[in-house]
Amino acid sequence: MLRASSENRGDALDPRAITDPSIDPLVEGGSRLIGFVDAVLGGGNVDGRRASLGTALGSDAVVDASATIANFEMMNRIAQGTGMPVGKGSLAQTEEWRSLIGLDRYRHR
Amino acid sequence: MQPGWLRATWKRQTLLVERQDGSGRSWSIWCHNRRMTQFLEDVSIPIRPEIPALFAREWSRLAAPGSYWSGRQRIEMAATAREARAGSRNGNSSLPAAAEEAASLLGARPAGTSRSWVESTMVDLGSGPYIEIVGVVSRAVAVDTFHRAIGSPLPRLPESVAGDPTGINDPAARSGPAWVPMVGGASIVGALSAVPPEAEAQEDMHGPLYLTYQQMQDLGFVRGLSRPQMELVAARTSAINECFY
């Protein structure tokens, strides 16, 4: 979805930022968004990261980022709790990205 | 209905009214003139009304009997997951040991699941009861995560609603490539389909927090974030959770 939505807009994207926060994802406000996710899920300075994100992208962006994190906290647990396999088609489509960003180390496929 | 109030109904037997407080940034569930739970306290930015309305529905679902577990037991699952995420255990749960372990693991360390562990847990509890735990815990974690992200104290867990489990399940569910039985082919949308109320609750959460299943097809969708920005947040969240999904 990340690749498809970026291509749809013609935006640049460096997917390595998904697993390496030191890399700029090239998405507008992307480093701040990743910093916010890391703070929420990793016990960092959430207040500071939230303020930084709000300054850069606005309060609606903070709400959407918070809601998206919450949704994927739910969906990840459903996938991991039920052993949801990734289809052969999706595996074929994502082969290049999986190799690039090291997704194959995750067991739920 | 006065301005600032929303009405939400759930399963006909429950009527909830949520009041938007004077600040416009804090929401409460009121029922029969008694405030039951407050969501999103001390938040400094406006929240889309569909989010507190969703949380009110979820807290009502959590408190009521499910297909296999009582309202009290469902709340204990949410409490166990919350405590596990905080690194504490109070040991007061009346849940069977396998259910408590499942709520704790799914709450705090979902990457620690495995096919053998899930199969063993389903031997102890049954597949339907296990699937209900997955649903209850995953949604409770979502509510808590939003509160942490937005800068609000976690909402108090609801009081349980008396009653027996409903026994609702889908007899068409079959074992397949996933670790739990489901209806139709394996897909994340149908992951909880063996216990239909849990699958319906998953879909109910998905829209207000992210996108409806239909909106997901719209790659140009924009709200507070553009679609690539949303997907970046989703991908980073999944990476931290070590989840391929």
B131–A82: do the CB atoms touch at under 8 Å? yes
CB contacts, 8 Å: B217 with chain A: none
CB B171 within 8 A of CB B161: no
B141–A74: do the CB atoms touch at under 8 Å? yes
Residue of B142, B208, B232 lying closest to A73 (CB–CB): B142
Which residue range forms the structural domain that includes residue B201? 37-236
pLDDT at B14: 46
B234–A68: do the CB atoms touch at under 8 Å? yes
Distance from C-alpha of A75 to C-alpha of B193, rounded to nearest angstrom: 14
Tally: H helices and E strands in chain B: 7, 4
Using 50, 70 and 90 to split pLDDT, how confident is the model at A109?
A: very low
CB B41 within 8 A of CB B66: no
**Partner A, chain B 49-78, Cβ-Cβ below 8 Å:** 51
Residue B45 lies in a domain: yes
pLDDT at A54: 96
Distance from C-alpha of B235 to C-alpha of B137, rounded to nearest angstrom: 21
Residue B57 lies in a domain: yes
Helix spans in chain B (H): 50-63, 71-85, 97-108, 115-125, 127-150, 196-209, 227-240
Residue B245 lies in a domain: no
Residue B225 lies in a domain: yes
Q: What is the number of domains present in chain B?
A: 1
A3-19: pLDDT as tens digits: 777 777 777 788 888 88
pTM, to two decimals: 0.89
A3 to chain B nearest CA, in Å? 8
> Residue B175's Cα: distance from chain center in Å?
24
Residue B28 lies in a domain: no
CB B14 within 8 A of CB B126: no
Using 50, 70 and 90 to split pLDDT, how confident is the model at B24?
A: low
CB B213 within 8 A of CB B206: yes
Class of residue B128 by CB neighbours under 10 A (exposed 0-12, middle 13-18, buried 19+): buried
Domain coordinates in residue numbering, chain A: 2-99
